[in-house]
Each structure stands twice: as C-alpha cells, then as structure tokens.
Amino acid sequence: MRDRLDVVAAIVAKDLRVYARDRFYVLVTVLGLAFYIALFWVLPATATQVVRLGVHLPGGEALLEEGGGDSGTGFELVPFSSAQELESSIAQGDAAAGMDFPEEFLQQASTGQATSVRVLLGGETPEQLRPLLVGGVREIVATIGRQEPPVTLPEMEEIVVGPDRIGQQLSMRERFRPLLVFLVLVVEMIALASLVASEIAQRTVTAVLVSPARVSDLLAAKAALGTLLAFSQALLLAIATQTLNANPLLLIVVLLLGALLVTGFGLIAGSTGKDFIGIVFWSMLILIPLVVPALATLFPGAAAGWIRGLPTYPLVQTIVNTTAYGEGWAQAWPHLAMLAAWCVVAFGVGVFALGRRAERV
C-alpha cells in the first residue's frame, strides 16, 4: 500500500511540474483569480431595484391605467388579465408582489358589501411592500366607493409564492458569488483535460505505465491532481471574498465536492479530446449545461425543474443558501447528497474513459 501511494505521489509531483511550466494556464489561473476577486468587491453589496407590482382587477382596467407605470418612486404597477398570469409572473420573479381582486369586487365595493382580496408575495419580496399593498387596496376601495380614506378594508389573505425570502433579497455580489466559484473550478477542469490529452497524444502515458506504475496509479494521480488544483483555487477565492464566514466547514465540504465534480468532467474531456481544439470542444460541451444554475442565480425567481436536475445546481444552491440566508447542515444535506451522487457518476465515467484510453495507447 505504501509503495502504491509513493508511486501516485511521484506522478502527481511530475504533473505539477508540467502544469507549472505551462505559462498559458498559469497566467489564466492567476489573472482569472485576481479578476474574480476584484469583480466581487466592485459589485453592489445591497439590493436596489424598481419593484414591479402586479394587479388583477376585473373591469378596472381604466382605473389601473391611471396609476400604472413607473412614477419615479421605484414602483411600477402592472395590470394582468387573469389571476393565473399574475401568479405565474410572481413565481418567475417578473413581479415582486401583486393584488388579486375577485370578479365581483367592483360591484361589492361600490355598494359597501364585504369582499376579499388576495395579496400575492414573491419569495424575495421586500417586507416593506406589505404596507404598500395594504395602502393600494385602501385607495382602490376608496376610489370605487367614492369615499375619502381611511375606509373599511376588505379581508385580505397573504400568499407567498415559492420559498419565503421576504426581506432577504440578494444583492448582485451575492448573486455573482456562486458563478465566480464555478468559473474558477472550470479553469482547472480545462487545465486537467489539457494535461491528460497532451500526455495521451505524446504517449507519456505509455512511458509512465512502463515504470512500476499501474493504470490504477495513473488514474488515482490524475484524480488527486485535478481535485487539488480545483479545490485550492476555489478555497483561495472563498477566503478572499469572505465566503467562509457563514459556515466554514459546510462550505469547505461543498467546495471539495465541487472540485471532485469538475475533476470527473475534466477526465472525461481529456480522454476524449485529441488536441487543443478537441479539448475546447468537449470542455464547452460539458460547460454549457453546467453553468446554467450559476447564471440562474443572477435573476430572481425559482429555478425551473430541468435546471434543478443539472449536476451543479446543488453546488450553487448550497453556496447561496449558506452565505446569503444562513442555512446550515440540516437544510443543506439534500443538496449535498445530490452533489455527492453526481460526483460519483462523473468520477466513474471519467475514470472509466481514461482507463480505456490509457490501455489502448
């Protein structure tokens, strides 16, 4: 066992020397890391936006047109033709909140009858919007009933569409955090793929296997190298951006799993690509779906079902939920389990593909 570990360590040391001599990837790694850190601290640390309020008021289109649009106060009133459209808009993050009036509301309000109103709140709706919505209902009732405020308010029911993030909307800095971590991991994935492909093309793999090293030693060394490079860079970024302040142990575990995940995909890309163009092609083919969950955090609203099935979704969600919302192990374990499962799949496919390629060289 000790002999095998010595062989693996020797291969890793050899690969590190090869990596250090590759000026392109060293330069990309250093400049990329510096750029990501600088970008993070330049981004706004607070969330500021024009809040869109949706209203479904059957028969009251003219009334809504008078108060619609952005009046410069930071709020925009948007009419909807149905309650379903209003709920869908809030769920997708297009509208922060909304008021859903029943079909008979105008008639009942004009005659002073008791009625009800549904107040719909998005998962990231600022808490300050609640009194604004109450005031909006008050004004509409007063206008219809030709009364001067204050008037008797109808019964209202609050419904939160999606996870309740009221008062916890994300700043651009928090939204970019998982994307920056992902980009760092991707650079190391491409670097590992390039190293593997070059060794196969130059038949360095054959020379290594002529020595006491076995195919299993070669696979273990490549896996260890990729994980080491990806994890170290992601950890440096996390330290520089104060990502570890929330829950250090949980985030370190998440970054380690993320490093294992991209290492598996790096082995796949490296074993299939025959030259630099091939590496770029396979890396981009893998990268495009993997980056979608990180890009989705830049926009408010719940992620679509197909996005939740992507390998990097649990990585992104755990980072966001831990750093922005203060969630811990109890809330993160489903995402950790899903991420670990994807690591096993990616690693298994990568090791199998590289092993088959090494045996044929």
pLDDT digits (tens, 9 = 90+) for 54-65: 888 887 766 666
Q: What is the pLDDT of residues 186-220, one digit of tens each?
A: 888 888 888 887 777 777 766 666 667 677 777 88
Q: Give the DSSP letter string of 7-56.
A: HHHHHHHHHHHHHHH-HHHHHHHHHHHHHHHHHHHHS-SS---PEEEEEE
Using the predicted structure, report yes or no on whether residue 2 has a pLDDT greater than 70. no
Give the Cβ contact number of residue 2 at 10 Å.
6
Domain boundaries, the chain: 2-44+170-360, 51-161
> What is the longest distance spanned by two Cα atoms in the chain?
94
Average confidence score pLDDT of the chain: 78
Name beta bridge partners: 160. 121
CA 11 to chain centre: 35
Virtual CA dihedral for 33, 225, 357, 311, nearest 10 degrees?
-60
Q: What is the pLDDT of residues 275-312, one digit of tens each?
A: 667 777 877 888 889 889 988 887 766 677 788 899 99
What's the pTM value of the predicted model, to 2 decimals? 0.68
Q: Give the DSSP letter string of 246-304.
A: S-HHHHHHHHHHHHHHHHHHHHHHHHH-SSHHHHHHHHHHHHHHHHHHHHHTTS-SPPP
Q: Where is average pLDDT lowest: 116-120, 135-139, 258-262?
A: 135-139
Give the Cβ contact number of residue 169 at 10 Å.
22
Q: What is the pLDDT of residues 7-59, one digit of tens each?
A: 788 888 887 887 778 788 788 888 989 999 999 898 877 765 566 778 888 87
Q: Which two tokens stand for residue 18?
A: 């090869």
The structure tokens 């690969």 sit at 15
Using the predicted structure, report yes or no on whether residue 222 has a pLDDT greater than 80. yes
First to last CA, the chain: 26
Give the Cβ contact number of residue 88 at 10 Å.
15
Domain 51-161 sits in CATH at 3.40.1710.10
Res 337: pLDDT: 95
